[in-house]
Structure 1
Amino acid sequence: MKSIKHPGLAAILAASLLLPAQSAMAQANDQFIAIPSYRVGPYGTNGQSYYGGYVDYLNYVNMKEGGIDGVKISWEECETEYNNAKGVECYERMKSRNPVTRGTAINTMATGISYALIDKTAEDKVPLLMLGYGRTDAVDGSVFPYAFPLVTTYQMQASAVVKFIASRNGGSLAGKKIVFLYHDSAYGKEPIVALQAEASLGKFTLVEIPVAHPGNEQGAQWLRIRQENPDYVIFWGWGVMNQTALKAAQKVGYSREKMVGSWWAGSEEDTIPAGDAAKGYMSATWNVTGKDVPLIADIEKVVYGAGKGNMQDKGKIGSALYNRGVSGALATIEAVRTAQGKFGKGKVMSGEHMRWGLENLNITNARLQQLGATGLLPEIKTSCENHEGSGKIKIQQWDGSKWVLVSDWIEGNKNLIHPLFKASAARYAKEKGITPACMQQ
């Protein structure tokens, strides 16, 4: 099967309950990757850039290297619209497309969908890849063997943001007030326990203010923020909620230089529509922006030079979400390479093989440099005890026209956060009747 690049065509194919048997067999020699994506709906603009980068990298590996040690990559997108039920439906339809890979590694870019799939994927033995999102407690591979919240979890990200803010206040936030303005969903709620722990440890006041989906109505929330007059706002937004918040902050006179967003609130899709209201705003990130990264420049040369690029708007190549999509695909392919190193180069890797590959990742700076991807993601080294592999972020600031890094790598407080997710994983194990144990290596 050829790679599917047109979102409308992908949606039509995803709507089919079953493909003919020969189609699945035709892909048997490919490393087939199922992509439950979203390119329409309230978050479609963000998804277009992210999945554009993701698909471009898969195409790039095929074109540049002939696949992964000779194994061609194929893929199919299924439109979820960031909807939990549609996300589950897409997964169920696509897992049978290839009888060996069963989707390779499922990356929904939606915390709610990942929550809905975490038991199903474990039962089916298909890795659930939660790159910078999802359940923090899935870091514990003894309880969640098939779930991988790679790079940095929401709780470690929130802890690192607090550390950054403290660094700008002489190392202490005692007596300060921080508002946590968040998307009222699993995504927005995930870091609350970490922020509450940080507030207790750091002796600052935490004020939690939710925003209903999709977030284009925030008048009441920003009126309260003006009344609270916090020292900082930690912002956990997504989609239209982000530009709305920046404009609302400007309207009530709250300094954007005192706002620090999550990395899903730190893209050009958020800042450019906000205009002057975005200048000075900061956000977390795990990847650099721009085409100065050799890999991004080479993707544009190789893939778009051949007229096979996924992005209709080529101006978004090198944007925050495009580069993040590339980094997500890169991590996936590196896990395939790792699995091939154990189970056979030039062979198609199953979901069980991929689980091992993801649990034994060792993406060093030297490897990133070799790939031309320095700065696209931090070093990642995973194990059964740590399916996250990093826990680090950088902070970037919008200067009115582009993102500029204003920090080096910052690691969240492991001593504070890891006991939190371990306790959560233990409760989950007890609830589900799971005996925590690392799978055979």
Structure 2
Amino acid sequence: MTTVFRNVQRAALVVSVAAAMLVPALPALAQTNDQFVALPSYRVGPYGANGQSFYGGFVDYLNYVNLKEGGVNGVKLGWEECETEYNNAKGVECYERLKAKSSASKGTAYHTMSTGISYALVDKTAADKVPLVMMGYGRTDAVDGSVFPYAFPLVTTYQMQVSAIVKFLASKNGGSLAGKKIVYLYHDSAYGKEPIVALEAEAKLGKFNLVEIPVAHPGNEQGAQWLKIRQENPDYVIFWGWGVMNQTALKAAQKVGYSRDKMIGSWWAGSEEDTVPAGEAAKGYMSATWNVAGKNVPLIADIEKVVYGAGKGNMQDRNKVGSVLYNRGVSAAVVTVEAIRGAQAKFGKGKVMSGDEMRWAFENLNLTSARLQQVGATGLLPEIKTSCDNHEGSGKVKIQQWDGAKWVVVSDWIEGNKSLIHPLFKATAAQYAKEKGITPACMKS
């Protein structure tokens, strides 16, 4: 019996050590005088590799601000992660758990990196008076702050992104796509469906033929879809993929002989996690982006020096520092910290900001080129200026292309057709307000 017991102890110890090695380095639970930032993240499952890079960059920047500046005006940043596995129900569970960690901040601002989870939290975060920040994803109609005061689809929405992609493709064809055929190959989820109304409006306006082809989650089975694409023989494929779906699509395109330089993806289908595993099949493929890759951004280089130099880096694979999704996570953290600074400037420096105070800050962001340069984030993201009428704040993207080894930016900033797109989400926001009994109104400062 003693031998059996010892064997059980050893087995339990091995399991515990192995589990500990899989858990990302986290600080101790935030103290009461810390600005607690909730992180409903995902690092496992079919999209885990993407989450590891994004949230790794996010955490590294929070650590960087603590190490470099001692926090924000003396207020240290604390955080805690909760694994959602990109699952809506688990995302809601994580939100309920994390908001209770700090009665002062209620989590500061929630970055779920999931359109589905964001949809599930829109009403909850509004009721709890804490910002839901959807940088490059989520509900497009939340741009209307008079209806969605606590939801912020910052930088660029899916609808404006797809409009910018259409504008880019038109520029490659003398300014018009009339008579062309475009396939929209998309993740069959809220994420993939969000841009459809805008793309259909663009097709009607631009007089091109649109063929919509969904792919079931997680997207590792696309044989039938690519057979149809080969039959349709489109001029271009606009691709709204995520996770394993992306590398699968690139390999499938190569298999059926469809040129990858005629494929252009969303920014969630344009990372090294998508192209490197696809090998030669990825060369020439393009995607939208709002942030650059690489360590030539001064802030990224300094994070590596300060955080990893102190042995406090969050990435287990340090080679991913400077990747598209890592830098995107840093950009999301930069916006969050700048909002904390803005809130403190109005409501009291050196104090922990509440969710409601953070709402004001996100609605009054003014990230200028000069400020981005001060932070060291020039080129990392576009200028952002928000208001009650515009919770998006930018509406611009760049196009990048995979050269077989790295992403290369091949366009300047492109803004979607705002006069076409904004009325679309204004209409759905008005419908949402009617269904929920909301009287649209801008909140007082």
> Which TM-score bucket, shorter chain as reference?
over 0.9
CA contact (8 A) 2:25 2:314 kept: no
Q: Measured at CA, do residues 398 and 361 of structure 1 come closer, stay the same or move farther in structure 2, by a change above 3 Å?
A: same
Post-superposition Cα deviations, 1:183-237, rounded to whole Å, max 9, x if no partner, equal 0000000000000000000000110000000000000000000000000000000
Which residue in 2 is equivalent to 1:222?
A: 226
Which residue in 2 is equivalent to 1:290?
A: 294
Structure 1 residue 11: deviation in Å?
12
Which residue in 1 is equivalent to 2:107?
A: 103
Structure 1 residue 9: deviation in Å?
5.0
The AA in structure 2 aligned to 1:259 is: M
Post-superposition Cα deviations, 1:291-325, rounded to whole Å, max 9, x if no partner, equal 00000000000000000000010100000000000
Structure 1 residue 8: deviation in Å?
5.2
**Match for 1:124 among 122, 128, 137?**
128
Which residue in 1 is equivalent to 2:346?
A: 342
Structure 1 counterpart SS, 2:346: helix
Q: 2: CA distance between counterparts of 1:244 and 1:301?
A: 35
Alignment of 1:318-357 (within 5 A): 318-357=322-361
Gaps of 5+ in 1: 1-5, 14-22
**Match for 1:393 among 391, 397, 407?**
397
CA contact (8 A) 2:105 2:353 kept: yes
The AA in structure 2 aligned to 1:391 is: G
CA contact (8 A) 2:35 2:77 kept: yes
Alignment of 1:191-230 (within 5 A): 191-230=195-234
Alignment of 1:26-175 (within 5 A): 27-175=31-179
Structure 2 counterpart SS, 1:283: strand
The AA in structure 1 aligned to 2:45 is: G
Q: 1: CA distance between counterparts of 2:259 and 2:286?
A: 11
Structure 2 counterpart SS, 1:141: coil
Q: 2: CA distance between counterparts of 1:346 and 1:141?
A: 28
Gaps of 5+ in 2: 1-19
CA contact (8 A) 1:11 1:78 kept: no
Q: 2: CA distance between counterparts of 1:27 and 1:313?
A: 29
CA contact (8 A) 1:56 1:326 kept: yes
Q: Measured at CA, do residues 172 and 128 of structure 1 come closer, stay the same or move farther in structure 2, by a change above 3 Å?
A: same
**Match for 2:253 among 249, 261, 277?**
249
Structure 1 residue 28: deviation in Å?
1.9
Which residue in 2 is equivalent to 1:16?
A: none
CA contact (8 A) 2:186 2:239 kept: yes
**Match for 1:436 among 434, 437, 440?**
440
Which residue in 2 is equivalent to 1:18?
A: none
Q: 1: CA distance between counterparts of 2:53 and 2:231?
A: 37
**Match for 1:311 among 284, 292, 315?**
315
The AA in structure 1 aligned to 2:355 is: G
Q: 2: CA distance between counterparts of 1:83 and 1:164?
A: 33
Which residue in 1 is equivalent to 2:7?
A: none
Structure 1 residue 27: deviation in Å?
2.3
The AA in structure 2 aligned to 1:238 is: W
Which residue in 2 is equivalent to 1:404?
A: 408
CA contact (8 A) 1:60 1:303 kept: yes
Which residue in 2 is equivalent to 1:3?
A: none
CA contact (8 A) 1:261 1:284 kept: yes
Structure 1 residue 10: deviation in Å?
7.4
Q: 2: CA distance between counterparts of 1:281 and 1:171?
A: 21
CA contact (8 A) 2:343 2:360 kept: yes
Which residue in 2 is equivalent to 1:19?
A: none
**Match for 2:306 among 302, 321, 326?**
302
**Match for 2:367 among 363, 367, 390?**
363
Structure 2 counterpart SS, 1:208: strand
CA contact (8 A) 2:26 2:80 kept: no
Structure 1 counterpart SS, 2:443: coil
Q: Which of the two has higher C-alpha Rg?
A: 2
The AA in structure 2 aligned to 1:166 is: A
Percentage of identical aligned residues: 82
Q: 1: CA distance between counterparts of 2:344 and 2:392?
A: 21
Structure 2 counterpart SS, 1:75: strand
Residue 270 in structure 1 maps to residue 284 in structure 2: no
Q: Measured at CA, do residues 9 and 246 of structure 1 come closer, stay the same or move farther in structure 2, by a change above 3 Å?
A: closer
CA contact (8 A) 1:181 1:234 kept: yes
Q: 2: CA distance between counterparts of 1:206 and 1:7?
A: 48
Which residue in 2 is equivalent to 1:186?
A: 190
Post-superposition Cα deviations, 1:316-336, rounded to whole Å, max 9, x if no partner, equal 000000000000000000011
The AA in structure 2 aligned to 1:30 is: D
Q: 2: CA distance between counterparts of 1:134 and 1:437?
A: 21
The AA in structure 2 aligned to 1:276 is: E
Q: Measured at CA, do residues 54 and 7 of structure 1 come closer, stay the same or move farther in structure 2, by a change above 3 Å?
A: farther
CA contact (8 A) 2:24 2:314 kept: no
Q: 1: CA distance between counterparts of 2:308 and 2:110?
A: 26
Structure 1 residue 86: deviation in Å?
0.2
Which residue in 2 is equivalent to 1:417?
A: 421
The AA in structure 1 aligned to 2:274 is: D
Count of residues in Structure 1 that have an aligned counterpart in Structure 2:
426
Runs of 4+ in 1 over 4 A off after TM superposition: 6-13
Structure 2 counterpart SS, 1:247: helix
Q: 2: CA distance between counterparts of 1:368 and 1:397?
A: 25
Q: 1: CA distance between counterparts of 2:314 and 2:357?
A: 29
